Structure 1
Amino acid sequence: MPRIRTTIGVLACLTLPLAACASSSAQIETTDHTVTVFAAASLGQAGEELITAYRTEHPDVEIIATYAGSSQLVTQMVEGASADLLITADTATMKTAQANIDALAQARPQVIASNKLVLATAPGNPASVGSVNDLASPGVITALCAPQVPCGRLAQQELAQTDITPAKSTQEANVSAVATKISSGQADAGFIYSTDAKALSASQNITIIELPGLESNSYPMALTEAGQANPTARDFASWLTESEQASAILAHYGFNPA
Structure 2
Amino acid sequence: MLSACGGAETAQQGELTGQVQVFAAASLNSAGAELEKTFEEENPGVDVSFNYAGSSLLVQQMEQGAAPDLLITADTATMDGATASVPDLADAPVQTLATNRLVLVAATGNPADIHSVQDLGRQGVTVALCAAEVPCGNLAQQELDQQGVQLTGATEEQNVSEVATKVATGAVDAGFIYSTDSAALQKSQDVTEIALPDLESNVYPLAVTASGQQNEAASAFSRWLSEEEAQRILADFGFGSPSSAE
Q: TM above 0.5, one fold?
A: yes
Q: Does 1:61 align with 2:65?
A: no
Q: Which residue of 2 aligns with 1:250?
A: 234
* Runs (4+) off by over 6 Å: none
From 232, 236, 240, the equivalent of 2:217 is: 232
Query: What's the CA shift string for 1:55-94, capped at 9, x where partnerless?
Result: 1110000112100000000000000111000000000000
What letter corresponds to residue 31 of structure 1 in structure 2?
G
Conservation of the 8 A alpha-carbon contact between 2:21 and 2:48: yes
| TM-fit CA distance, 1:108 | 2.0
What letter corresponds to residue 102 of structure 2 in structure 1?
L
Matched pairs, number:
229
Conservation of the 8 A alpha-carbon contact between 2:24 and 2:53: yes
Conservation of the 8 A alpha-carbon contact between 2:7 and 2:214: no
**Once superposed, what is the RMSD of the aligned Cα atoms?**
0.7
Q: Which residue of 2 aligns with 1:159?
A: 144
Q: Which residue of 2 aligns with 1:133?
A: 118
| TM-fit CA distance, 1:31 | 2.8
TM-score, structure 2 normalization: 0.92
Q: Which residue of 1 aligns with 2:105?
A: 120
Q: Tell me, in whole angstroms, the C-alpha distance in 2 between the residues paired with 1:211 and 1:203.
A: 23
- Structure 2: any 5+ residue segments left out of the alignment? 9-17
- Structure 1: any 5+ residue segments left out of the alignment? 1-28
Mark the structure with the bigger radius of gyration: 2
Q: Does 1:200 align with 2:185?
A: yes
| TM-fit CA distance, 1:35 | 0.5
Q: Tell me, in whole angstroms, the C-alpha distance in 1 between the residues paired with 2:6 and 2:143.
A: 42
| TM-fit CA distance, 1:212 | 0.4
State how 1:55-134 maps to structure 2 within 5 Å. 55-134=40-119
> What secondary structure does 2:88 align onto?
helix
Q: Which residue of 1 aligns with 2:157?
A: 172
Identity %: 54
TM-score, structure 1 normalization: 0.88
Q: Tell me, in whole angstroms, the C-alpha distance in 1 between the residues paired with 2:231 and 2:96.
A: 12
| TM-fit CA distance, 1:30 | 3.1
